[in-house]
Amino acid sequence: MRKVKIVPEAEDEYRVRPDPDDPKLTVRVAGVDQTGARVKTGVVVERPLTIFLNRQEIVTAMTIGDYPEYLALGFLLNQNMLRLDDVVTAVECDDDLEVVVVRTKRATDYEEKLKKKVQTSGCAQGTVFGDLMEAIENASLPKAELRTSWLYALTHKINTTPSLYLEAGAIHGCVLCEQDRPLVYMEDVGRHNAVDKIAGWMFRNNVRPDDKIFYTTGRLTSEMVIKTVRMGIPILVSRSGFTAWGVELARKAGLTLIGRARGKRFLALSGEERIVFDQDLRYVEDESAKHRRKAAVHED
Amino acid sequence: MRKVKIVPEAEDEYRVRPDPDDPKLTVRVAGVDQTGARVKTGVVVERPLTIFLNRQEIVTAMTIGDYPEYLALGFLLNQNMLRLDDVVTAVECDDDLEVVVVRTKRATDYEEKLKKKVQTSGCAQGTVFGDLMEAIENASLPKAELRTSWLYALTHKINTTPSLYLEAGAIHGCVLCEQDRPLVYMEDVGRHNAVDKIAGWMFRNNVRPDDKIFYTTGRLTSEMVIKTVRMGIPILVSRSGFTAWGVELARKAGLTLIGRARGKRFLALSGEERIVFDQDLRYVEDESAKHRRKAAVHED
């Protein structure tokens, strides 16, 4: 049993992590507080990014705009418009036009697909139901292990990592992890964007999914489950709650689904067999109100 | 100055409010907790609802499914596909097929519009940018007043109203209010659905927007601002944070935008002139950690 207390600060373990000091990501805005006093506050930016696949305009996403290349690649992958074996010949970003063009060796045409839309609670831009289900039906997620000692170390490290959320709030975070190490921490106004940026990063860096753990600040909706399964990651963890369809899809796909992970508490509603209970809970701290206020309120 | 303490329990003031006991809205699911013990928990349902406008399939939304008629009408209104002066000849719901068909006297065709999509951070299913901007440019929101005494009474009543959120979490809430009275409290897995259900209710019940206050648990994103402006409501309040574009659009439209409304604290970043500071803050309670934990974590 792991008896040592979890130690904070693991930012060095990150290959990508938030840069709350990037002036492009937040602006200072003036207003009044409850006493009527003039105050200034930082708010996250939200700008349109139009994604093209070869000649075709696919979508305009609202994003903080920090990783347009990863966002475009990940979005197309998670929409099943880009395949893992596709040869990407170029990714052209134009900051002024707020456009990113992904070029592939394979000729692509998703005219028909773009006509039919599904709005998921997790806000996948139009995705055809058939595709969503296909990803689940054909899922064959690998054997994997989630030690509770890793889980507690991860949530502690993630919650103590400087982030735009802690700076300005109103943003979502997703973290790609391996064992007890957070590797890539992406934030965005749209949680789906944060997921897609991680998928794009994995594609670009040829990172294998089978030994990874995916952490999200957001709810475990059907969309979140589908994206994780599509990415081939066997374990999905969130500090937030579940939806019934999310649980149903996770069970169909054999995904380990852990929610309400706060302090020493968590709840697994699918794939429990991957969990190894190696952490002595007497050595895990509950969330302090102060920390809870900071980390818990991942709004919308 | 308002010196009396705010008293809880105002459910009787509601014309529509959540029914956390409705067996159709949550299911019991079995899993394991952090100790490895088998536990059961309630999770909110999430089911597809395909919305037709006359002959045309418009979108499939994931919803808890409690008010398909209001959701369909509100969605079409907020997408600018249904006009306030349209004559709705029928709204046909088929629970088994999970389909709702809205029929209008006016012939409609949004083929072209459905091709072009924008994914907002707040998850508007495809909405053409032009339309979004049009709503803001042409906005002429009415003169109105927001007394801080109303604001504190509202947030207190809303936070103490029994809801699916308090039961199962992982859900969003929106409340249509008048002065210090909450009138319609809608919840859904997708926050945009909760907004649309309120818009549909207003349309069906011929409710005027100019003297209303709109409360949301979610972030004040560009989409949230645009929908509120489209609905003609001059004041938008949230316990969550802001995005820069949300603030910019609110200022363009002259919308009063209040965020981070918790306990005695709030922040107004647009339309401050409508606020009347009549509440003596010494008589307003801060949020307790317990209550904060309950009400604050409106996940994703």
Q: List, for residues A17-71, the tens digit of each pLDDT value.
A: 999 989 999 999 999 999 999 999 999 998 889 999 999 998 888 899 999 999 9
Residue B156 in this model has a pLDDT that exceeds 70: yes
pLDDT digits (tens, 9 = 90+) for A254-275: 999 999 999 999 999 999 999 9
Instruction: Spell A47-66 as b/e; 16+ CB within 10 A means b.
Output: bbbbbbbbeeebbbbbbbbb
Query: What is the nearest CA distance from A92 to chain B, expressed in angstroms?
Result: 20
Residues of A in contact with B219 (CB under 8 A): 170, 189, 299-300
Average pLDDT over residues B124-137: 60
Cα(B188)–Cα(B190) distance, integer angstroms: 5
Beta carbons within 8 Å of A105's beta carbon, 6+ residues apart: A86, A87, A89
Least confident of A157-161, B26-30, B132-136, B171-175: B132-136
pTM of full prediction above 0.80: yes
What's the whole-number average pLDDT of chain B? Answer: 86
Residue ranges of the alpha helices (H) in chain A? Answer: 68-78, 111-115, 129-137, 148-159, 164-168, 191-204, 222-231, 244-253, 289-296
Question: Is the confidence at residue B300, as pLDDT, over 50?
Answer: no
Compute the distance between CA of residue A16 and CA of residue A199 in angstroms, rounded to an integer.
13
Per residue in A81-101, pLDDT (tens digit) is 999 999 999 999 987 778 999
Mean pLDDT to the nearest integer, B103-108: 95
Check CB contact under 8 Å for B44 and A125.
Answer: no
Q: What is the mean pLDDT of residues A105-116?
A: 79
CA pair distance B281, B266, nearest whole angstrom: 12
Residue B297 is nearest to which of A47, A148, A296, comparing CB atoms?
A296
Q: CATH: 3.90.105.10, 3.40.140.10, 1.10.10.410, 3.40.50.720. Which one for A140-299?
A: 3.40.140.10
Contact B264 A34 (CB under 8 A): yes
Query: Does the distance separating the beta carbons of A277 and B36 come in below 8 Å?
Result: yes
> What's the CA gap between B22 and B17, in Å, rounded?
12
- Predicted confidence at residue A125, as pLDDT, reads 39
Would you kindly state where each structural domain of chain B is located, as residue ranges? 140-299
